[in-house]
Structure 1
Amino acid sequence: MNKTFLYTAISMAMLSATVSCDNSKSGKGPAAAYENNSAEKASHVIEYTNLLIDIANQQNDYITRVMENADKIEKGLKNPSDRFAFFGIFPATYFERSRGISKVKADEPVDELSSDDKKFFKEKVASSSKAFTKIQDYYKQLQDYLKAEDYKDDKSVKGLALVDSIRSSTQLLIAEKAVLIKKVNEIADASEAIVLKDSPLKDYIIAMKADLKSVREFVGLMENGGADYNSIKDKADAAYAALEKAYGEHSQLSLDNAKKEHKDSYYKLFYDRFHEILLETKKTMRDGAEKGKLTENQVENLSRNYDYLIERYNSFNN
């Protein structure tokens, strides 16, 4: 299952290579309301936008598993007499991670947002949450349907209808998230420009964001071409070499300023994880070259690794 459907929107907000956008400087556009904020206010806005991105990523992981299972279940429902019809379908569960001492909540937009944006986030967070809950509900009904083996009574009619409902609800959530994250992008860029202007952490943040963008592009390459690995091998090799080079440079930045802000351990954790991902990815690429393709699990693991890096980035910025 290709995870790009939500990452396209998420990446726009999370991984802009620059630290600001032209609109925030010109006093025009949606970001204009934030260009005069203090660094403290801008940091609070970023904490809120990071939370929305983190939740979107967690939900994306859950939806990916649900959609993978829905595909398998649909196939089984069309041939339920096969004794392996529903073999290997593992339950998809969703647990929202604890965020420690942070008091920011997705459904309570921070006061530092403009009144219009507070209203926007209040409405969009509620509607996207409703769409996500609907997916969970339909999937729970489908699980109960399979456990009771009700497909033997109605010739799989209800089960196939539930699969269709899961897919249509997922498309609705995609639309909701695209609008939500577009706004996150605009506000986060404007606020980040303020925070980074005179920040001792500027170089670290720019380095991590650039590497996250490169990792996301690499994962996208593997997602889209992994089924015929030899067709993308040269591009994959070049992209991997660039990642190694960036790791070598960015992991060796002086941590003097990070230590003063008590952020050196978070920065090191980011690049420790980056290093482990590079080692694991090298094995995956070797396997792809030998077999001519990547497995669905290998591609999914690359996406999960990207998620872990985002978590490390958010920890640095919290």
Structure 2
Amino acid sequence: MKKIAQLLILPAFMTTTLIISCQNRDKGSKAQTQYAESNGDDANSIIKYNNGLLGQDERRDSYLKSLGNNVRSMRRLFDNPKATVSSIGMFEPFETPYIPKYGENISSPPSGLNSSDKQFFKDNVTQLNTLYTQIKDVYKAMRDYVKAQDYKDDNGAKGKALTDSIDNLGNKYYKLDDQVRAKLSVIADDAERVTLKDHPLKEYIYAMKDDRTKIAGISMLLDSSANNYKVSEAKLQVAFQALKSENEKHTAMSFSSRDEYASKKNYFGKFNEAVNDFLLELKRIMRDASASGKISEEDLKTLDYKRETIRSYYNNFVD
């Protein structure tokens, strides 16, 4: 996994946690772990654990991005303590708590995992929780420092040190999160094979998973090259074409006309339309970035909203 760049360099914290469990695999690909031979109960417990961690990761990532925006604003104040600023950093970023769905227990690795993997997730998820709490604690100290306008007394020195601390903790958090997600994604994908083995709609589920994986990869490239688009332009062009080809293929897939699948057919169609909408917006953003050399934070947010729409249609399909 790629090392996370510092918070102040990027337009926002970046993450791979939105990369879903299917890592560009299709229905004919081979399993990679022992969990493809799990029984149904064990497979379901692994999938629920995976979904729970994903849900928590998405909410944490949204909070950390908002926190990152505030930190960058405050850093400008530390660099120029005489600047007139009204309410930078005065408000806590909104944090949506994750509410586990029935059967999800992200605090305890499922019994379907072997002892070594259970220990891995127990230890590393605990460490992730610690790092997340530390980031919030340092941010609170920074916010208090700004509220009291102490940056006027030390010319922003403490504020800069706190910013560096958040950068360091954020890099550690996302690097570890990458490792946890990478390991769990492969395990969860193999466990899902058990549950999808006889599923009548599995080819559509894997099609949507493949699209979401490609979209997550594109988002990572955009985030990492926001301030220097040319670095990733060639890779993004290839990624764009790959997603476009997949979208065209998936849009052309025939779907059962049986009444019981009517809602699934509708959600699959909406999903493909949403991916196409993402592609149209991405094409515009890439064109502008090619001319300017940068990707604006507003453009990144726009793609985030469209990605959320895609996720929503996927969830509606599989629920």
Q: Report whether the alignment pairs 1:151 with 2:151.
A: yes
1:253 aligned partner = 253
Give ranges in structure 2 of 5+ residues lacking alignment. Answer: 1-9
2:197 aligned partner = 197
* 2: CA distance, partners of 1:116 / 1:148: 49
Q: Percent identity?
A: 27
State the 1:230 CA deviation: 7.0
Amino acid at match of 2:39: S
Distance of aligned partners of 1:307 and 1:87 in 2 relative to their CA distance in 1, 3 Å threshold: same
* 1: CA distance, partners of 2:36 / 2:236: 39
1:132 aligned partner = 132
Amino acid at match of 1:17: N
1:28 aligned partner = none
Q: Report whether the alignment pairs 1:141 with 2:133.
A: no
TM-score, normalising length: structure 2: 0.78
Larger mean CA deviation between 80-89 and 115-124 belongs to: 80-89
CA offset digits 1:106-146 (Å, max 9, x no partner): 11333333344334333322221121111112112212221
Give ranges in structure 1 of 5+ residues lacking alignment. Answer: 25-30
Larger mean CA deviation between 226-235 and 175-184 belongs to: 226-235
* 2: CA distance, partners of 1:313 / 1:201: 13
CA offset digits 1:14-62 (Å, max 9, x no partner): 34111587564xxxxxx32x23323453233212212212322332232
> Is the 8 Å Cα contact of residues 131 and 169 (structure 1) preserved in structure 2?
yes
* 2: CA distance, partners of 1:249 / 1:210: 12
Q: Report whether the alignment pairs 1:181 with 2:190.
A: no
Amino acid at match of 2:23: S
Amino acid at match of 2:75: E
* 1: CA distance, partners of 2:222 / 2:175: 24
Amino acid at match of 1:18: R
2:15 aligned partner = 6
* 2: CA distance, partners of 1:238 / 1:201: 29
2:5 aligned partner = none
Distance of aligned partners of 1:112 and 1:137 in 2 relative to their CA distance in 1, 3 Å threshold: same
State the 1:150 CA deviation: 2.2
1:81 aligned partner = 82
Amino acid at match of 1:280: E
1:214 aligned partner = 214
State the 1:164 CA deviation: 2.2
1:27 aligned partner = none
Match of 1:281, SS state, is helix
Distance of aligned partners of 1:226 and 1:142 in 2 relative to their CA distance in 1, 3 Å threshold: closer
State the 1:80 CA deviation: 0.7
The alignment yields a C-alpha RMSD, in angstroms, of 3.5
Amino acid at match of 1:175: K
Distance of aligned partners of 1:258 and 1:123 in 2 relative to their CA distance in 1, 3 Å threshold: farther
1:48 aligned partner = 49
Distance of aligned partners of 1:105 and 1:83 in 2 relative to their CA distance in 1, 3 Å threshold: same
* 2: CA distance, partners of 1:107 / 1:82: 45
Match of 2:15, SS state, is helix
Q: Report whether the alignment pairs 1:17 with 2:18.
A: no
TM-score, normalising length: structure 1: 0.78
State the 1:213 CA deviation: 2.5
2:6 aligned partner = none
Distance of aligned partners of 1:135 and 1:195 in 2 relative to their CA distance in 1, 3 Å threshold: same
State the 1:298 CA deviation: 1.2
